[in-house]
Structure 1
Amino acid sequence: MPTMDQPRLENLLTSFTEACRQAGLKLTHQRLEIFRELAVAVDHPTAETLHQRLLQRISTLSLDTVYRTLATFCEYNLVQKVETVESQARFEVVHSRHHHLICKHCREIIDFDWPFFDTAGLPEAIRGWGKVDSRHVVVYGVCDKCLK
């Protein structure tokens, strides 16, 4: 699995620490390790996957703690829940604006950029709807590996 370079990870952790302080969230060892593991993950892991990875470093970490921590992180916009049709939520630390491509067979999630979508105006029919906070595209299909 590719790894994030150390200066970039340290920047993310510094930003995370500051965001927790501003939000009034205690920066516990468990929260820091959950965020760190999610920051270096490239596979948009589930809470269960994160829990399994972290048990190697924090043997007393409960799955419930991982779930509650991820919910808190999402509430404070520290991580993003990737919207999928799966029953299990997937998570990521948002490094930059992007969208997701999901294989319906193997469930792999790939990040992609789409500057045209990001900068395009809203369709006329919904311009008067109200205030749009975010726009995300999730594209479903079957990857080349699964087609073979």
Structure 2
Amino acid sequence: MSTEALKQLFAKSGLKFTNQRYLVYRAMAEAKDHPSAETVWRRVRVEAPAISLDTVYRTLASFEARGLVTRVPGGGEEGRFDGDVTPHHHLVCLCCGSIEDFTMSGAGLDDLPESVAAWGQPRDAQVLVRGVCRKCLCKMEPVKPESEKRRT
């Protein structure tokens, strides 16, 4: 996204364009790993060594409130963020903490049960699948059947 287009996006969202916001937004737009605020801070510090972690946290919170980034639920103790605000879902590994995007048909707002519409006014919908990724499964020691455990 060009700087001019980003200035217009910020203005439309009620944000003043600053270099720090630009760098945080660009870091989020380029990220595919659903980074934490601390990871974004480390990446942005390469170009803006004086930026504080608090500024990155506040900037991400401001972006989230305006729909410019989303927070990924289930990403562990530290908050994880996604610069892709198009409708999609997430796979979260409980071992390594990796988060991957996935899409599926029939899982949007139009596909929610009527009970959700009766609940109120949903803003978005996201499926979160938590488990163990293939990479971590390959590293795990195979589980012995109960019959083998008793013999040893």
Category of TM-score, reference length = shorter chain: 0.7 to 0.9
Match of 1:90 in 2: 80
Could you tell me how far 1:130 is from its partner in structure 2?
Answer: 2.4
Q: Distance in 1 between matches of 2:125 and 2:34?
A: 19
Match of 2:49 in 1: 59
Q: Does residue 118 in structure 1 map to residue 108 in structure 2? A: yes
* Contact residue 46 and residue 90 of structure 1 kept, 8 A: yes
Larger mean CA deviation between 38-47 and 115-124 belongs to: 115-124
Which AA in structure 2 matches 1:91? F
Q: Judging changes above 3 Å, is the alpha-carbon distance between structure 1 residues 124 and 87 closer, same or farther for their aligned structure 2 residues?
A: same
Could you tell me how far 1:97 is from its partner in structure 2?
Answer: 1.6
User: Structure 1, unaligned stretches of length 5 or more?
Assistant: 1-9
Q: Distance in 1 between matches of 2:112 and 2:129?
A: 19
User: Under a length normalisation based on structure 1, what TM-score does the superposition of the two structures give?
Assistant: 0.84
User: Structure 2, unaligned stretches of length 5 or more?
Assistant: 139-152
Match of 2:30 in 1: 40
Across the two proteins, how many residue pairs are aligned to each other? 138
Q: Judging changes above 3 Å, is the alpha-carbon distance between structure 1 residues 127 and 31 closer, same or farther for their aligned structure 2 residues?
A: closer
Match of 1:7 in 2: none
Structure number, greater radius of gyration: 2
Identical positions, percent: 39
Could you tell me how far 1:147 is from its partner in structure 2?
Answer: 0.7
User: Under a length normalisation based on structure 2, what TM-score does the superposition of the two structures give?
Assistant: 0.82
Q: Deviations over 1:16-51 (max 9, x none)?
A: 432311233110000000000110011000010111
Q: Deviations over 1:46-103 (max 9, x none)?
A: 0101111111111111101100100111111111111115110011112532100000
* Contact residue 93 and residue 133 of structure 2 kept, 8 A: yes
* Contact residue 39 and residue 93 of structure 1 kept, 8 A: yes
Root mean square deviation, CA, Å: 1.8
Q: Secondary structure at the match of 2:129?
A: strand
Which AA in structure 2 matches 1:75? A
